[in-house]
């Protein structure tokens, strides 16, 4: 199931990395006594694909939810497109939300709505849109994510995991956002469906000039897509850099995540000019079961 978009953008350059679109400064987030983020700083520039990695419970989803304005920081500031999310007026906040799309970690779709109605929902929220226009629009989005139109009338329960993610993505890009947030987009997909999804994101990134923030545990997806990797640990962003630089930071989580067997294997997919910048421990044979010392 290759999306036409993937073919259409083959050979097209990646979007230029431009101005800062997300700026998080000195962020603290607490739930009762649980301090999730403390003195956290994080930036994303237009045209980037930033992967957010970190252990389970390290606060990846919580950080994304705060950037989207779905959750309030305890202290600190978050600016999106230069606007402070805490002080923005409601009308502007609505406009800003329409500039962002989100594929949620769980429950990517409304189970009681068909594929068609799931994708149409963000548009219907904007107001009355003629049905024929809506239909063309939904079909276009389905085509963009590589799903045949015949699936439009299906209910989410009748779809495979990979198809659910594609429909979720079609809905996330419904309003043609500039910023796309993906929370574990390939979790639960088999390797082939994961690879197809990576191709799709890469194609959309080029075709729409998107900026992407992607939470992922999936090392192969991270290596294949990221312009930078932001590592969440110790309640902050420890490092946000190209993967070969992030892997060089001396920290227990980074050693375990990047320099374990799976990490070393995934890092082999980097082009050679980037691979030579990896720390020696990352270059230890990725076929043996022994961890580098
Ligand atoms: N609404 C909430 N109320 C209370 N605590 C919460 C809430 N949302 C998240 N937390 C807590 O914040 C911490 C970070 O959670 P979060 O879901 O952001 O982690 P995560 O890095 O996305 O983990 P995972 O990889 O498992 O998805 C956890 O300790 C979680 O229990
Ligand atoms: Mg999460």
Nearest Cα residue to atom 1 of ligand 1: 31
CB-CB contact of 211 with 45 (8 Å): yes
Q: Tokens 């897509």, residue? A: 225
Does residue 87 line the site of ligand 1, with CB under 6 A? no
Beta-carbon contacts of 263 under 8 Å, excluding residues fewer than 6 positions away, are 219, 247, 257, 282
CATH superfamily ID and name for 4-241: P-loop containing nucleotide triphosphate hydrolases (3.40.50.300)
Q: Give tens-digit pLDDT for 194-243.
A: 888 899 999 999 988 999 999 998 999 999 999 999 999 999 999 999 99
Question: What stretch(es) of the chain map to CATH 3.40.50.300?
Answer: 4-241
Q: Which residue puts its alpha carbon closest to atom 14 of ligand 1?
A: 59
Ligand 1 binding pocket mutation candidate from 42, 62, 257 (most atoms within 8 A of CB): 62
241 - beta bridge partners? 229
> How remote is the C-alpha of 6 from its chain's centroid?
18
Q: How does pLDDT run along the chain (293 residues), one tens digit per residue?
A: 566 667 777 777 788 888 999 999 999 999 999 999 999 999 999 999 999 999 999 999 999 999 999 999 999 999 999 999 999 998 888 888 889 999 987 767 999 999 999 999 988 988 888 999 999 999 999 998 989 999 999 999 999 888 998 999 999 999 889 999 999 998 888 888 888 889 999 999 998 899 999 999 899 999 999 999 999 999 999 999 999 999 999 999 999 999 999 999 999 999 999 999 999 888 876 655 555 54
Collapsing DSSP states into helix, strand and coil, what is residue 57?
coil
């Amino acid at each position: 199931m290759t999306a036409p978009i993937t073919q259409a953008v083959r050979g097209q350059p990646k979007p230029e990395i431009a101005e800062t679109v997300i700026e998080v400064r000195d962020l603290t987030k607490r739930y009762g006594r649980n301090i999730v983020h403390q003195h956290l700083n994080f930036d994303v520039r237009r045209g980037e694909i930033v992967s957010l990695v970190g252990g389970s419970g390290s606060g990846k989803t919580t950080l994304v939810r705060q950037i989207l304005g779905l959750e309030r920081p305890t202290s600190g500031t978050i600016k999106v497109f230069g606007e402070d999310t805490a002080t923005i007026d409601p009308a502007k906040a609505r406009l800003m939300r329409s500039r962002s799309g989100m594929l949620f970690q769980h429950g990517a779709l409304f189970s009681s709505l068909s594929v068609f109605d799931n994708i149409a929902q963000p548009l219907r929220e904007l107001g009355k849109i003629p049905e024929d226009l809506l239909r063309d629009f939904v079909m276009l989005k389905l085509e963009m994510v590589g799903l045949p139109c015949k699936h439009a009338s299906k209910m989410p329960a009748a779809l495979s995991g990979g198809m659910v993610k594609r429909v979720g993505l079609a809905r996330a890009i419904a309003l043609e956002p500039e910023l796309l947030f993906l929370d574990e987009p390939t979790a639960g997909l088999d390797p082939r469906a994961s690879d197809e999804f990576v191709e799709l994101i890469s194609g959309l990134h080029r075709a729409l000039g998107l900026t992407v923030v992607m939470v992922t545990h999936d090392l192969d997806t991270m290596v294949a897509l990221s312009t930078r990797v932001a590592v969440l640990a110790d309640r902050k962003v420890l490092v946000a850099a190209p993967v070969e630089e992030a892997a060089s930071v001396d920290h227990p989580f980074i050693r375990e995540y990047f320099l374990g067997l799976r990490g070393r294997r995934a890092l082999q997919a980097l082009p050679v000019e980037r691979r030579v910048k990896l720390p020696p421990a990352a270059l230890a044979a990725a076929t043996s079961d022994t961890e580098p010392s």
